[in-house]
Amino acid sequence: MSEKKGYNPHEFEEKFYKIWEERGYFEVDGNKNIQKEGKNFSIMMPPPNVTGSLHIGHALTFTLQDIIVRYKRMDGYKTLWQPGTDHAGIATQNVVEKQLLAEGKTKEELGREAFLERVWKWKEHSGGMIVHQMRKLGVSPAWSRERFTMDDGLKNAVKKAFVQLYDEGLIVRGNYMVNWCTHDGALSDIEVEYEEHNGKLYHIRYPLVDEEGCVIVATTRPETYFGDTAVMVHPDDERYKHLIGKKVRLPLIDREITIIADEHVDMEFGTGVVKVTPAHDPNDYEVGKRHNLEFITVFDEKGILNKFAGEFEGHERLDAREKIVARLDEEGFIEKIEEHQHQVGHCYRCHNVVEPYISKQWFVKKEVATRAIEKVNAGEAKFFPPHWINSYNAWMNDLRDWCISRQLWWGHRIPVFYCDECGHEWATSEDDPQSCPKCASSKIHQDPDVLDTWFSSALWPFSTLGWGNGDALKNSKWFEGDLSSFYPNDLLITGFDILFFWVARMIMMGEHFMGELPFKDIYLHALVRDEHGNKMSKSRGNVIDPLDTIEEYSADALRFTLAVLAVQGRDIKLSQEKLELSRNFTNKLYNAAKYLQMNVETFDNLENIEVKTPLGKYMLSRFALAVEETRSFIDQYRFNDAATTLYRFLWGEFCDWGIELSKASKTSVAELGAIFKEAMKLLHPFMPFITEYLWHQLSNTSVETESSIMVQPYPADLKRDEAIEKEFANIIEAIVSIRRAKATVDMPGKKIEIAYIKADEPMDDKLATPFIKLLAKTENVEFVDQKVKNAITDVSDHMEVYLPLTGIDLKPILERLEKQQAKLTKEVIKLSNMLKNEKFVANAPAHVVEENRKALEEAETKLKKVEAELLQLTQI
């Protein structure tokens, strides 16, 4: 025997992981000894931000990916799990800018080149912490292939993709209205997060120019009125038809604008008169184009009001709002101010209020997605759960041009150059062109902006396989044939919350550049919430840190808990209680192995032995069912069902029954040990550490000197023996039934003289008797064809059990049950009355009401059980 001491996960997890990684088990050929010809499997790791740290959502994604990867690897597939990190343009630049500010510096003082050197230095020393944290979870990607979205190869791929789209006319530059963050610059539509705000609706008087009176406009953003170039009414609004074509004067600045008519106006909202600010509202932008209005921008890229704001020039847009309103009110231009609830867009990174803003930006035209939409709907990629295709279609069919330029220094710089002499513009993959290709002038400059981070990560499924990498990685032999072997990827697993940020963009880019969709299957998991169903947040104080959880419970316990709760399409409610159950499962497995080794120290592999004993055949048959179900569930990405199957078999069937029954059949222990060893392989993808430990313990080997369980063949093709299963199902039913009957007469742990069994179908009494006698604690067992009188009876699905009452005093038992009945009756009445009280239900906290409902259900269940026992005993 090797180590005899108990299993300490912290002692073995780090050691095992280091051995696995050093031996190259995670790599494409790590399972070469069991690979089967023509079976390839690839999956891409959603590249976490280089600024990030492991959170519970990551833990779920990486756990599910690792389960499928370990399963495929053990099943003989040549498997690539491609890892890497994302440069996270906005987030990373913010980190380094804050460091500079703490030193009293700005990036502008350093200059672009020096700033980028600083960012790279930070990335090399502090970035990528999450990659080290992921190892704690036991994940097994091909770490030697780790990529970074700004490494040389991917940098070349990004340039190639941009230039190709540019040359095809699918990337264009122009003045568009974009979502603008005054801190982070241009944002795409899905980078704006909308929140309900309790704001105000300001009603402002705009005086008529040529006659008495005014029109009243309502706005939530009075600071933009300096950019009004029209006032608009509905052409069918009888209140204002006579004013169409007339002019009004803008308060404080006295600029005259025309009243126009447009069907865009909602006659029911506000006063039915709206201001038109084409440069600062997306709807007004379209109105401005329709009516050929002037576009006046009233603040700069930092949100500072300009000369068009008159006396408010130099003020920040939001800070100026109340000052402007106060001045309008002072001059008599405020009609009224109302409370108003409305949606306000915020930057997804810095949470700054986003402004609609006209800016010259680069865009990918929406036409790039046309074939991707068609192919997904033709079934070339499948969503799990399937309802996500509806969300995909809803977004893709309403797609707008994608703004891909960002006003940052950190990122993939846009590979477009401009000639200062002739004005020529061109895109090129060259790193540093020296002259204009049109006029040969050396006076050229590169576009200062960088690409949206999602542009480079949209290429991830194929750029990481070498597409467009050029000569950057020509010496990396593992790129040879990767595209043909691993594209399309077989599966994508990620959170539903980045369906549009990342998944949809990979689909459109993969189809465009490769001619095929990048994934065959797309599994979108839900959110991990706390035990009450609340979203985790630092402000709520309910964040569960996966690293702390691993420290307290083990990586296996966290992984198994996440898997068993990962029902497709349903949020996960994670609790300490569920983690403790998984830890208890680990302990149960350890104790089962310890018991087996008390009887037989070393166990052979299942394929090397012939299972002969009835108990061994029964447990092997149940294991065959577990193998069949586990495989089927993993293949369908029903991770929770697979984990539940493993739990049912290993705890409920093997430990609770197989091991207990073996106490009456010692000759079966060697067979059970071989089955348990094989079951560790079945469980390994879910709980890699404890299974590695126990597999070697039962083999009397060590992972330090022998091959790992992770490159052993996954269990398959075992046959069931339904006849033996039926025999043991009856034996177990008889034991449970006798135990129930004994509990009724307060003899659960005592040995009784005899138990009579009347089964619906004949039982093999020679097989059944030893097991029933030992586990039900009865001296004798007799199988009968008719009811036994003067006996306590237990009726189950397929049999009746009788325990003679000879020598049993029922009086104290009846007294105890009567007291229980009285107590439970009072409890039921009390809780029923409380829940019938409408005031209590209406005013008590929801969780208190729910607790009382559960307490009532439990009391009613107990009462029914007590009454049934009383009825039976009083009838005897």
Task: Give the model confidence (pLDDT) of 509-558 as tens digits.
Answer: 999 999 999 999 999 999 898 888 888 877 778 888 999 999 999 999 99
Residue 174: pLDDT band with limits 50, 70, 90 = confident
Task: Output the pLDDT for position 6.
Answer: 65
Phi and psi torsions of 349, nearest 5°:
-95, -60
Task: Output the pLDDT for position 4.
Answer: 46
Q: Are 445 and 433 in contact (CB under 8 A)?
A: no
Task: Output the pLDDT for position 2.
Answer: 41
Kindly give the pairing relationship between strand 230-233 and strand 274-276.
Answer: antiparallel
Task: Output the pLDDT for position 758.
Answer: 94
Which tokens sit at 716? 């398959």
Phi and psi torsions of 597, nearest 5°:
-75, -15
Distance CA 876, CA 874 (A): 5
Which tokens sit at 348? 């997804």
Q: Give, in order, the Cα–Cα distances in Å from 187 to each of 301, 346, 404.
A: 13, 10, 8
pTM equals 0.84
Q: Give, in order, the Cα–Cα distances in Å from 62 to each of 24, 149, 249, 635.
A: 19, 19, 61, 17
Q: Is the pLDDT of residue 645 over 90?
A: yes
Distance CA 434, CA 272 (A): 58
Give the 3-state secondary structure of 699-718.
Answer: HCCCCCCCCCHHHCCCCCCC
Distance CA 381, CA 519 (A): 6
Give the 3-state secondary structure of 299-363.
Answer: ECCCCEECHHHHHHCCCEHHHHHHHHHHHHHHCCCEEEEEEEEEEEEEECCCCCECEEEEEEEEE
Task: Output the pLDDT for position 190.
Answer: 66
Task: Output the pLDDT for position 5.
Answer: 55
Task: Give the model confidence (pLDDT) of 191-240 as tens digits.
Answer: 788 888 888 999 999 999 988 899 999 899 999 999 999 999 999 999 99
> What letters, b where the CB count within 10 A reaches 16 and e where it falls short, cover 62-77?
bbbbbbbbbbbbbbbb
Q: Is 538 annotated as a binding residue?
A: yes
Q: Are 62 and 140 in contact (CB under 8 A)?
A: no
Lowest mean pLDDT among 191-205, 392-406, 623-637, 690-704: 191-205
Beta bridge partners of 203: 218, 336
Distance CA 417, CA 428 (A): 8
Kindly give the pairing relationship between strand 256-261 and strand 274-276.
Answer: unpaired
Distance CA 388, CA 569 (A): 9
Q: Are 816 and 866 in contact (CB under 8 A)?
A: no
Q: Are 421 and 442 in contact (CB under 8 A)?
A: no
Q: What is the mean pLDDT of residues 492-501?
A: 92
Q: Are 547 and 136 in contact (CB under 8 A)?
A: yes
Distance CA 814, CA 811 (A): 5
Distance CA 22, CA 26 (A): 9
Q: Are 692 and 19 in contact (CB under 8 A)?
A: no
Task: Output the pLDDT for position 807.
Answer: 67
Which tokens sit at 307? 């000369």
Q: Is the pLDDT of residue 416 over 90?
A: yes
Q: DSSP letter for 652, please.
A: I
Beta bridge partners of 471: none
Distance CA 713, CA 771 (A): 34
First-to-last CA distance in the chain?
Answer: 57
Q: CA geometry: angle at 415 spanning 410 and 416, to 5°?
A: 120
Q: What dihedral do alpha carbons 506, 512, 516, 519 form, nearest 10°?
A: 0
Task: Output the pLDDT for position 480.
Answer: 75
Please give the mean pLDDT across all residues of the chain.
92
Task: Give the model confidence (pLDDT) of 827-863 as tens digits.
Answer: 999 999 988 998 888 888 888 888 999 999 988 988 8
Q: Are 772 and 755 in contact (CB under 8 A)?
A: yes
Residue type, position 160, single letter: K
Lowest mean pLDDT among 263-272, 730-739, 849-858: 263-272
Specify burial of residue 482 (Cβ count, 10 A radius: 0-12, 13-18, 19+): buried
Q: CB neighbours (10 Å) of residue 700?
A: 13
Task: Give the model confidence (pLDDT) of 21-48 as tens digits.
Answer: 999 999 999 999 999 998 999 999 999 9
DSSP string for residues in 57-82: HHHHHHHHHHHHHHHHHHTT-EEEEE
Distance CA 113, CA 130 (A): 27
Which tokens sit at 438? 């049109």
Q: CB neighbours (10 Å) of residue 291?
A: 16
Nearest Cα to 561, choosing from 387, 686, 466?
686
> Based on C-alpha coordinates, what's the Rg of the chain?
36
Q: What dihedral do alpha carbons 814, 819, 821, 827 form, nearest 10°?
A: -170
Distance CA 351, CA 539 (A): 15
Q: What is the mean pLDDT of residues 46-74?
A: 95
Residue 328: pLDDT band with limits 50, 70, 90 = very high
Which tokens sit at 544? 């569960």
Lowest mean pLDDT among 289-303, 354-368, 553-567, 804-818: 804-818
Residue 115: pLDDT band with limits 50, 70, 90 = very high
Q: DSSP letter for 208, please.
A: B
Beta bridge partners of 304: 316
Element housing 803 (H / E): strand 799-804
Nearest Cα to 562, choosing from 713, 685, 711?
685
Q: Is the pLDDT of residue 371 over 90?
A: yes
Beta bridge partners of 645: none
Long-range contacts of 823-829 (CB under 8 A, 24+ apart): 824/859, 824/862, 824/863, 824/866, 825/863, 827/855, 827/859, 828/856, 828/859, 828/860, 828/863
